[in-house]
Structure formats: C-alpha cells, structure tokens
Structure 1
C-alpha cells in the first residue's frame, strides 16, 4: 500500500511486462501477509486517531481514490449501487465514496482494530449510514452477496504474501469475489505487487477484462513500466 506522500509498503513488483518470468509466480512469505501484522498496525493507527484525530495512511495515496471515482463517474455507476470495499483499512475510501454521493456502501476487514478505526473515521465525518463489518473475505461463505461493485486497493497484494498455502489463498479470493458480485458486476483492483498480465491471468476464469486505468509510469534502461496497476473486470456467468 502507499500513503499520500508516495511511499510504498509491501510492494514488491516494479517489473515491466517483458520481465515477467511467470504469470502467477508467488512472492516469498512476508509478515505483511499475516493477520497479526495488520492487527498490530491498525491498533497503532487507532490509538493515534483517538489521541490526535489522525486517520493514518491512505492506501496508494489520494490519487488512487480520485482515479477510481473518475472511472465510476465515466462508467455511470448509480449512486444507489451496492459497493463493497474489500479490506477497508481506516475507511478513508468509504468516506470519499460517501462524499461523492454513493449511498449503499459496505467496508469489510478481518482486523477488529481496522473496523473500530474505520467506524470512528466515518463517525467523525458524520457518515453514520455506512456499514463496516469485521469479516474475513476468504471465509465469508454466504455472508456477502449481491454487490454491484467490489473494490480492492492492496488487499489482494497482502494475501498474496501469506506465508501459508499462498496458491490456495489466492484461489479462495477469486471464489469469494465471484460469490460476492452480481452477474455483470464490476471488480476494480489496484495492485503494486502484480502486473497487468499477471492479474489478467489470475482473474481469467469467470471475469471479463474491461479496461486498465492510467497509473504513474517509470522509465529505466530504455523500458517503461508501472509501479501500480489498476484494472477493471466484469463478472461473467
């Protein structure tokens, strides 16, 4: 993820497509893929928020939120669309969605501290109609259904660093996503670990690629690449 100053955390892929050795290569295990890491991180942010009102980091920076909102405007996502923020963190994106006029919002996170923090941030903005739940997306069974749009900013990155059964975890993520989305529903993902080609491969079954959103580029050694990838998919039958 990335804060508003542009620093990245847990991002391991800045390769160009030509450099991809495998479409679904796993990264080495990392504490960034563990629940304990995020529990501890959001507990610290929660304490800071309670002390001084600082909401903490914004994943991938404010630019990423604006990029997603611009796509939603162009795609004419209705204001009453059911929208799920997967791995909501501090709830900053839920705040922006609500301020943008969206009225049917839910954020989930498997960290209790994250959920408490997000609820506090929303309450401070007087946004009491936004739902935030403590839910493990990989084990949500039938709890999450009927969403028009699912948004992921860094959560798939984090679970890809899980030290245990990484391939199984990624497969379960795709299954959970298909279960949560309505047919023809949209999935918007922002990633700093996976390239466009790798994400197209991972979400090739059951999803149709819609478009790539523009993200900052870098040039090195005569090649051009992206430090962040943002893609839109549509759920098929």
Structure 2
C-alpha cells in the first residue's frame, strides 16, 4: 500500500487479537472483484427505491446470523464472531485504515472518533482493539444499531469504549465540533448513488433541496473539530471528485493530507479541517 502524500509503502500488519481479529484469508471481498459485494446490494437498494428499508433488511438478516452464531458458539473456541459477519471492502481496507488513523498528527487513544455508517460495528470494535477509548458508531438504520449493540452486549469487556447512536448524517443530531476523527467507509458512496439518476424520485435537487452529497459535506464539516480529520474510503469517487467536493467547493476549509490506494478502484483520502483565526485559515 502506498501513501501518495509521503511516497512510502504502508505495510499491512496483523493487529492484536481479541473479540475481533484480522483474518488475512477472509473471503468477504473477492480478490478478483473487490467491489462486487458493495455494488450488488447497493444496486438492489436503488432498484427497490427505498434505501433505508434495504439496509434495515440487510442488518436484520445479519442479526439472525449473529444470533445463530451465538447459539452454536463453542465456549472454548477462539474464533471471533465478528470475523464471520460481513466486512464492507474487506479486512485489508480495515487494517490500512487503522494504521492511517494511528499515524495522524495530534490523534491519541483519547481522541473522539466517529465511525459514520457503522453497520454491524466491525470498525468500532477494531478501533477498540488497538486502544482507542472514545468511539462512536452511527448509522441511519435502526437495525444496524440494534445489531451493533447486541454484539457489544455479548462482549462487553472488549467493547465498553463504544457508543452506538442512530443518526442520519443528512440531518445529524450531533453537536458542532464534536469529533476529532470521522471515518466513512462507503456512506458517501451510498448517498451519492441514491442521489444520482439511478433513482429519479429520490433526487433532492429536483425538490428544491441541495444535493445530498453537499448536505453530507456540510454536516460532516460541522461536527468535525477544527484541526480534525475526515477519512473517506470510496470506490465510487475519483480523487479529483473528492478534492472538488471537500477542498475546492469549501474554499480550502478542508485540505487533503493523505491518499492511499487499497485496490485499483478503492481509495482512502484523508482531509483535515482547517483552523480559523480571525477569519484566516491556519494549517
């Protein structure tokens, strides 16, 4: 993995074991088509024209799987349950993301981190495993939050640093300047696809509202602390599109700090919210 900002390779290393552990041979994302498991359900969601209902159904099914895994689990076994649940974009992306967050300037284990679109809470547990202590997972799907909380309750000792909250980033209830790191693995992609002409009835600008991706950007910037970081994992946007959305269109309120290519069509971009002092930007 190469960090485009430093030009150095980023090795992918296994992390400490626990309730969650990295499985280098996990098959959640096929090596020959890493985007398949992301786009197929999204396209079904777009076809159904009810994205929230789709995600609720998806995580209700995962809840059924989780309950069965609990029932069948060998008390003496070591296989973590989260390894058996779906991981968006795969474990390699998770490993690279964790290493990136650990290396961010000014970020410590006491920094407040939001996993935006947390799903089953997989990334929150990974953050907890490597020592972060102020973790929030949010999702607009009530079924996702119910699943994440159920997993947390079944392993309270390893996940007590995590809070799960049902929240829609397009109308977020989070206060201003709340988080030092916001991590988004696929949420922006999903919002952009819903807002595209794949689902004409859902296009917000045709209803006199701002495009959803712009609302997303403004809300993310609002709840991110000055000097804080936004990490976007995307397979649906090019680097130039993300730079346009977060840097050019904000007048430099956000600046890109890191870029990592995970797969051919999957990239991680890290932006930093600039600090204002007397209406001047300070890097």
With the shorter chain as reference, the TM-score category is 0.7 to 0.9
Query: Could you say what secondary structure the match of 1:215 adopts?
Result: strand
Q: How many residues align?
A: 211
Query: Could you say what secondary structure the match of 1:9 adopts?
Result: helix
Give me the whole-angstrom Cα distance separating, in 2, the residues matched to 1:203 and 1:186. 12
Give me the whole-angstrom Cα distance separating, in 2, the residues matched to 1:9 and 1:165. 25
Give me the whole-angstrom Cα distance separating, in 2, the residues matched to 1:195 and 1:33. 26
Query: Could you say what secondary structure the match of 2:193 adopts?
Result: coil
Give me the whole-angstrom Cα distance separating, in 1, the residues matched to 2:257 and 2:50. 28
Mapped contact 1:141–1:176 kept (Cα < 8 A): no
Check if 1:4 corresponds to 2:36: no
Check if 1:66 corresponds to 2:113: no
More helix by share: 2
1:75 and 1:191, CA in 2 relative to 1: closer, same or farther beyond 3 A? same
Query: Could you say what secondary structure the match of 2:256 adopts?
Result: strand
Give me the whole-angstrom Cα distance separating, in 2, the residues matched to 1:38 and 1:170. 19
Give me the whole-angstrom Cα distance separating, in 2, the residues matched to 1:88 and 1:50. 19
Corresponding residue of 1:231: 269
Task: Give TM-score scaled by structure 2 length.
Answer: 0.69
Structure 1 residue runs without a partner (length 5+): 13-28, 217-225
Name which of 125, 135, 145 aligns with 1:115: 145
Corresponding residue of 2:61: 44
Corresponding residue of 2:154: 124
1:192 and 1:102, CA in 2 relative to 1: closer, same or farther beyond 3 A? same
Higher relative CO (Cα under 8 Å, sequence separation at least 6) belongs to 1
* Structure 1 residue 65: Cα displacement: 1.1
Give me the whole-angstrom Cα distance separating, in 2, the residues matched to 1:86 and 1:139. 13
Name which of 132, 143, 157 aligns with 2:189: 157
* Structure 1 residue 141: Cα displacement: 4.4
Calculate the aligned-residue CA RMSD, in Å: 2.2
Corresponding residue of 1:215: 262
**Worse overlay, 80-89 or 162-171:** 162-171
Give me the whole-angstrom Cα distance separating, in 1, the residues matched to 2:148 and 2:134. 16
Give me the whole-angstrom Cα distance separating, in 1, the residues matched to 2:218 and 2:60. 29
Mapped contact 1:192–1:227 kept (Cα < 8 A): yes
Mapped contact 2:257–2:271 kept (Cα < 8 A): yes
